[in-house]
Amino acid sequence: MKVGVNYAPSQGWFHSWLDLDLDAIRRDFEVIAQLGLDHVRLFPLWPLLQPNRGLVRPRALDDVTSVVRAAGEFDLDVTVDALNGHLSSYDFLPAWVITWHESNLFTDPLVKSGQRDLIGQLAQRLREEPNVTGITVGNEFPQYAALAPGHVHPTRSACTIDEAQTWLQTMQDAMTEQWPEGRFWFGFDDDLWFVDDHPFIPRHAVIQGSATTVHSWVFSQVGPRFGNGHSALTWFPRYLLELARAWSPDPQRPLWLQEVGAPRTHVCDAEAAEFMTTTMASLASTPGLEAVTWWCSHDVSRDLLDFPELEYSLGLFTTDGTPKPEAHALAQVIPDLHAAQPQHQSDELTFSASWETGEGRSVCSPMGDLFAQWVDQAEHTGTAPRLQRV
């Protein structure tokens, strides 16, 4: 199992792409590598890469390559996200898809042609870098199609299930045409697994890309329902992975826990190290789990304003590179994760939902009885029950 971190630069956050400081980035990568982590996920910003539909900036591609090579100096493998898109409550969309040029991100043929061009040019560059393992299309990009109450995007790009499928395949083709041997992923927030009306459905997540990715965050539903300190918070990422396995027609399909973190809204400083240790223990025996990637490497600086409060404390390191207690806890369990063997469960819980439309998937929501029953059983037996879609 690979164990890494989503890289949030200590100096300037993702705005650092505007005026790249490779020495600062090397300092960040050095402490990441010293912790024993083996990979990072990078987030170049879409408007900087492609400020006009016809212009993918060579200098921006050079900057991505420079950061990739800096990671390689510390033996860190790299994945790169394209079409960012959305990061930590902020949207980064180029001028040619918003305001007077407002377009549908998933269905407009001109927008898709621009997206294809960017992904293709990134793939051309990155395929030459030996420590790059592949490309993810953006950070939770399908949230722009969200329909969940309270989660409808303010500039929503509506699409149907079939249009979502076409967009996913178009993006995948753009990468594989330039880099056939590269790996390619999509990053989904958990609405895909739980919201009946979302046009991106579980079927998409388990058939598109090189592995199924899940993002585990407890601040929206799990924490508010069960409260701080409840075992549901540390079992939730394993539940998502079991849900992904339940939907997959291929029992051998790889899984990637692409994001998991300890938001201080529901995990206080004093409990962060134990949260890390307990969470990783729940994950170690997951069949098919290729990698765990913590969110994120460094805290957001208090000099940067207007972030949601929880974003300022999600890092393994403070902004000066000091490892936090959860970082030390992660370092201690890395050997166990590397040596972990999959455990195939005999206990099973079933649910019913449509493969074609995703209808009924809300029964799997953390607010429902299935999750509560699953957590109770996991807590009682110490092992994660298998989920089965019927």
Rounded Cα–Cα distance for residues 297 and 26 (Å): 13
Average pLDDT value for the chain: 96
Is the Cβ–Cβ distance between 63 and 80 less than 8 Å? Answer: no
Does residue 318 surpass a pLDDT of 90?
Answer: yes
Examine residue 370 and state whether it is found in any structural domain, yes or no.
Answer: no
Residue 149 has pLDDT above 70, yes or no: no
* Residue pLDDT, tens place only, 267-295: 999 999 999 999 999 999 999 999 999 99
Render pLDDT for 197-230 as a digit per residue (tens, 0 to 9).
999 999 999 999 999 999 999 999 999 999 999 9
Residue 21 maps to a domain: yes
Extract the tokens encoding 230: 């409840």
Residue 173 is part of a domain; what is its CATH number?
Answer: 3.20.20.80
The answer as to whether 189 is a domain residue is yes
Domain that holds residue 227: 2-344
pLDDT (tens digit, 9 = 90+) per residue, 319-359? 999 999 999 999 999 999 999 989 877 789 999 999 999 99
pLDDT for position 373: 97
d(CA 298, CA 322) in angstroms, rounded, equals 9
For residues 315 and 334, the answer to whether their CB atoms sit within 8 Å is no
Average pLDDT over residues 248-271: 96
In a domain, residue 350? The reply is no
Residue 65's H or E segment, with its range, is helix 58-72
Distance in angstroms (rounded) separating the CA atoms of residues 71 and 352 = 44
Q: How many domains does the chain have?
A: 1
pLDDT for position 40: 98
Q: pTM value?
A: 0.97
143 occurs within a structural domain: yes
Residue 296 in any domain: the answer is: yes
The closest alpha carbon to 349, from 327, 364, 336, belongs to 364
Q: Which of 260, 43, 239, 60 is nearest to 141 (CA)?
A: 43
Q: Which residues pair with 291 in a beta bridge?
A: 2, 256
Residue 385 lies in a domain: no
pLDDT at position 344 is 75
Within a domain: 384: no
pLDDT surpasses 80 at 65: yes
